[in-house]
Structures are given as structure tokens and as C-alpha cells.
Structure 1
């Protein structure tokens, strides 16, 4: 079975003898968190440092997701890898896949997905923990970068489906930040227009505890690429607030 190896990572993997599925599966590594035991199998994540480069190596067995197109199921990493490739094709900033492979044997379905570690980046949830210590200009730059990421995502016709602060990684300072997405398993095409777009945005804003009303307006105005005092921005903010209130009332 043919495995995927990114051209930019091939030489390094060759140097360490890690260009095939079996070698990566056999590595003894310490998991970074508790294994996921759902979906009838298991899935675990490990950090792998190779010289000056760092990766996250994800391995799973019989950890399947089902859909109308795949009623018998497929490894969740297969779906995530496919989405990583789609994001790259569409120009949506996201994590970088270095290796992917599957094996089917004796009733067991194994999959490996290795991605570049985002060292030097911070997820938005972590940034929230020290939000008050950041300068106003830095906070605004982070908000605008997150909004621009959402705009690029939706302009490419994609719904993230899990647009949480912990899945948005950022780096930079008060003069500008860049952002990219991780955890692409639930991504799908935008099928319901504005409703889908609001769904992604509400998922983020409902968890943006340090943000005030002005921050929300800045986010929406940047996302729409419109003046903050425009009627369209006010309409979108009102729609998002209603959706959040409805969620909290349930």
C-alpha cells in the first residue's frame, strides 16, 4: 500500500529511517494525553522530535468514522488527512501533514497521521489565559487574524465544524498575527450558506470569554471586511448573539 510522505519532510524521515508505516508504528513513544477509546477502537497522539524538527505522530486502530459515503466506516485520520490536503489545495492556512498511511490486516484497520508541530504558535484558548496581560493592540491583532482565518475558510466554501479557540493557532504580536487551523476531522463543504457560517462563528464567539462587545464587533467587521459601524455588521452581531442566547437557554 502506498503511503504519503511530504516532499519537504522526506529527506529528514529517510535520515532517521522512518519512511515506512511499520517503522513509525513500532516507535516507542510517550503519549501526550490519554488514548481516545471511542468508536470501537483506540487513537493516541505522541510527540516525535527529529533533530531540530518536531512532529505529532498519531496512531489508531479500528477507530472509525461513518458517513453516507463510507457507511462501513473509515479511520478518522483518513478523513482528517483528506481534509488537510483539501485545505492545502484551497489555500486555507492549516496544519502540515508529513506522513500518512493505512493498513488493513486480520480485521484490524490501522492508520498513522504525522503532522508538523506548531512550535512557536499558541492556540487561542491558551492565549485567553493571559488575555488581560496583552496590550490592546496585540489583542486586536489576534482577533483580526482569527476573523481573517474564518473568512478564508468560508470563502473557500468550507465549514470547519469544530471552530473552537483551542483549534485556532496564532503567532505574532501587536503589529500583526497569522493564524491556522487544526483538527479538521469534521470539516465539510458549506451546504447551508449563512446558517453554516454563523454556526462556525458562534462556536468561537460563545467561548470567547475575555472578549467584550467591541471585540465581537471587531471580529465580525473583519470577517465581513466591512466598517464596524455598518448595518450589515450590526445584523450579523445580533444574529450571533441570538444564537448564543438560544444555546445558553437550552
Structure 2
């Protein structure tokens, strides 16, 4: 069975004897958190340090997602790996896959996904915890970077589907901030225009507790590339507020 191994990581994995599905499956490591035991199986995440290179190794068994196209299900990592590749092709910054493979053994469906660790990056949720102590210029740079990432994502015709602050990563640079996305399992094509875009943005701002009305307006102005007091920005603020009310009523 053919497995994916990124060219940039092939030599590193081979040097440590970890360039095969079985070697990665049998490797003994401590999980970074409790296994996810939903979907009738399990899924675990491990930190993998190989000298100067660092990765996250994810393994799962019978942890499946189902769709009209795949009614009998497939490992959730398979969908995430396809989306990682799609983001790469579309030029949307996201985590990078080093290895992917699946196996069917009797009634067990196994999958492995190895991605490069985002060392030196920090999730937006962590930046939000520091928000009150950050300089105004630094806050604006974060907002502009996140808005630019959302604009690039939607401009590529994709909806993240789980656009939480913990899934947006930033790395500070001299020019501002680099950004990238993780957790791409729920990504899908942007089919409903403004409605899909509002869904991603409302999901983000609803969980960005440190942001007030001024920050949300600034985010939308950067996203739309329009003045903050423009009528279109006001219209988008109303759309986000309407979606939040609908979400709260449905809970």
C-alpha cells in the first residue's frame, strides 16, 4: 500500500527508522492528552522529537466520518490529509503533512497522520489571553493578520468550518504576523457565498472573548478592505449579530 511521505521529511524519518506505517504505529510515546473515544473507535496525538525536527504523530483506529460520497465511512485523518493538500495547492497557509497512511486489518481501520510541529507559533487563543497587556499596535497587527488569513481562505473558495481561536496560529515577525490554520477536517468548498463567510467569522468572534465591538469592527474592516465606518462593514456586523442570536436561541 502506498503511503505519503513529504520529500522534505523523508530523510529525517528514514534516519530514525520511522518511514513506514508499521514503525510509526508501533512507536511507544506518551500521548499529549486523553484519547478521543468517539465515533466507535479512538484517536490519539503524540509529540515526536527527532533531533532538530519536531512533529505531531496522530494515530487512530475505527475513528470514522461518513458522508454521501463515503457512506461506509473513512478515517477522519483521510479527510484532513486531503484538505491539507488542497490548502497547499490553493496557497492557504496551514499545517504541513509529513506522513499519511491507512491500513485495514480484519475489522480494524487504522490511520496515521504526521504533521510538522508549529514550534515558534502561538495559537490566537493564547494571544487573546495576553490581550490586555499588549500594545495597541500589536493588537491591530494580530487583527489584521487574522483578517487577512480569513480573506485568503474564503478567496480560495474554502470554508474552514471550525474557525476557532485555538485553530488559528500566529508567528510574530518584523513585518507583523504570519498565520496558518490547523484542524482542517471540517473544511469544505464555499458554496453559499456571504452566508458561509459569515459562519466562519461569527464562529471566530464568538469565541474571541477579549475582543469588544471595536475589535470586531476592525477585523471586518481589514477583512473587507474597507473603512471601519463604511456601510458595508455595518452590514456585516449586523449579519454576525443575527447569526449569534440564532445560535443562542437554538442552544
Structure 1 length-normalised TM: 0.97
Measured after TM superposition, the shift of residue 196 of structure 1 is 0.7
Q: Distance between the aligned counterparts of 1:193 and 1:12, measured in 2?
A: 42
User: What is residue 35 of structure 1 aligned with on the other side?
Assistant: 35
Q: Distance between the aligned counterparts of 1:145 and 1:126, measured in 2?
A: 15
User: What is residue 59 of structure 2 aligned with on the other side?
Assistant: 59
Asked if structure 2 preserves the Cα contact closer than 8 Å seen for 1:138 and 1:173, the reply is: no
Q: Deviations over 1:192-218 (max 9, x none)?
A: 111111000000011111112111111
User: What is residue 169 of structure 1 aligned with on the other side?
Assistant: 169
- Provide the secondary structure at the position in 2 that maps to 1:177: strand
User: Residues 221, 174 of structure 1: CA spacing in aligned structure 2 closer, same or farther, 3 A cutoff?
Assistant: farther
CA RMSD of aligned residues (A): 1.1
Measured after TM superposition, the shift of residue 173 of structure 1 is 5.7
- Provide the secondary structure at the position in 1 that maps to 2:207: coil
Q: Distance between the aligned counterparts of 1:75 and 1:115, measured in 2?
A: 16
User: What is residue 2 of structure 2 aligned with on the other side?
Assistant: 2
Q: Distance between the aligned counterparts of 1:68 and 1:116, measured in 2?
A: 31
User: What is residue 160 of structure 2 aligned with on the other side?
Assistant: 160
Q: Distance between the aligned counterparts of 1:180 and 1:38, measured in 2?
A: 27
2:142 is the counterpart of 1:142: yes
Q: Distance between the aligned counterparts of 1:156 and 1:225, measured in 2?
A: 17
Measured after TM superposition, the shift of residue 241 of structure 1 is 1.6
Unaligned runs of 5+ in 2: none
User: What is residue 90 of structure 1 aligned with on the other side?
Assistant: 90
- Provide the secondary structure at the position in 1 that maps to 2:81: helix
User: What is residue 206 of structure 1 aligned with on the other side?
Assistant: 206
Unaligned runs of 5+ in 1: none
Measured after TM superposition, the shift of residue 242 of structure 1 is 2.0
User: What is residue 44 of structure 1 aligned with on the other side?
Assistant: 44
User: What is residue 68 of structure 2 aligned with on the other side?
Assistant: 68
- Provide the secondary structure at the position in 1 that maps to 2:23: helix
User: Residues 9, 173 of structure 1: CA spacing in aligned structure 2 closer, same or farther, 3 A cutoff?
Assistant: closer
Measured after TM superposition, the shift of residue 14 of structure 1 is 1.2
User: What is residue 12 of structure 1 aligned with on the other side?
Assistant: 12
Asked if structure 2 preserves the Cα contact closer than 8 Å seen for 1:141 and 1:173, the reply is: no
Asked if structure 2 preserves the Cα contact closer than 8 Å seen for 1:164 and 1:204, the reply is: yes
Structure 2 length-normalised TM: 0.97
Q: Distance between the aligned counterparts of 1:74 and 1:214, measured in 2?
A: 43
Q: Deviations over 1:73-109 (max 9, x none)?
A: 0000000000000000000010000000000111111
User: Residues 133, 177 of structure 1: CA spacing in aligned structure 2 closer, same or farther, 3 A cutoff?
Assistant: same
User: What is residue 101 of structure 1 aligned with on the other side?
Assistant: 101
Q: Deviations over 1:108-163 (max 9, x none)?
A: 11000000000111101111111111111111111111111100110000010000
User: What is residue 126 of structure 1 aligned with on the other side?
Assistant: 126
Asked if structure 2 preserves the Cα contact closer than 8 Å seen for 1:160 and 1:188, the reply is: yes
Q: Distance between the aligned counterparts of 1:213 and 1:179, measured in 2?
A: 23
Asked if structure 2 preserves the Cα contact closer than 8 Å seen for 1:138 and 1:175, the reply is: no
**Paired positions, count:** 250
